[in-house]
Amino acid sequence: MAVIGGNARASRRLAIEDANVVGRSVPGTFAFGLLPSMLSLAAAWAGTLRARRIIVGVSENYGTTTTPICKIYPDRRREFVQAFNLMLLYARPADRDLVVEAPLLDLTRAEVVKLGQKLKVPFDRTWTCYSSNHAPCHRCIACVNREAGFLQAGVPDPLVMETAKV
């Protein structure tokens, strides 16, 4: 992605907007075709493994105080997952099954956090920040959505707790 450029996640020369302005236009963090490309690579790999499912962790993220993710990133919508599965139907041999499933699609960030807590997800080893590789910036849409999810779930975010110690 760094070679292709065109978005703020791949190029540090482009600004990553603060969450309070995201949603008014296409954000600099939107990478056109990124998710379909990654799912296509996953499908190629799944085909060699004879896997029948690809699980993707996208969420439309309705029920949030910020702009829903599916309004900012159109490939996080139910319609995209359905369209990708239709493409897979035509792209695979007739005797092979392969489908993309998005089990978190209807969940809010708070519900994802609660589910993760129930499943003992090591949240201290998960990452969302678009701006930094070292500590959450607390300003980009990814950080704001993550922090809102933990706050709404009533669960302390270990990344925020770690930043507070510094």
Which DSSP helix (H) or strand (E) runs through 54? strand 53-55
Is the CB of residue 75 less than 8 Å from the CB of residue 36?
yes
For residues 112 and 23, the model is more confident at: 112
One domain for residues 85 and 140: no
Residues 5-33: pLDDT tens digits?
Answer: 556 555 566 666 665 655 556 666 666 77
**Predicted structure pTM score:** 0.76
Domain that holds residue 31: 26-107
pLDDT of residue 33: 74
For residues 66 and 129, the model is more confident at: 129
In this prediction, residue 131 has a pLDDT band, given cuts at 50, 70 and 90, of: confident
Assess whether pLDDT exceeds 80 at residue 91: yes
One domain for residues 30 and 103: yes
Q: How far apart are CA 146 and CA 65, in angstroms?
A: 12
pLDDT of residue 119: 96
* Token pair in block for residue 139: 């300003």
What letters, b where the CB count within 10 A reaches 16 and e where it falls short, cover 26-50? Answer: ebbbbbeebbeeebeebbeebeeee
**Contact partners, residue 54, CB within 8 Å, separation at least 6:** 39, 42, 43, 46, 98, 99, 100, 101
In this prediction, residue 61 has a pLDDT band, given cuts at 50, 70 and 90, of: confident
One domain for residues 101 and 127: no
Assess whether pLDDT exceeds 80 at residue 55: yes
The CATH number given to whatever domain includes residue 53 is 3.40.50.620
Tell me whether residue 100 is in a domain: yes
Helices (H), the chain: 34-49, 69-72, 78-91, 109-118, 141-153, 158-165
**Closest to 140 (Cα-Cα) out of 59, 6, 20, 25:** 20
pLDDT of residue 60: 76
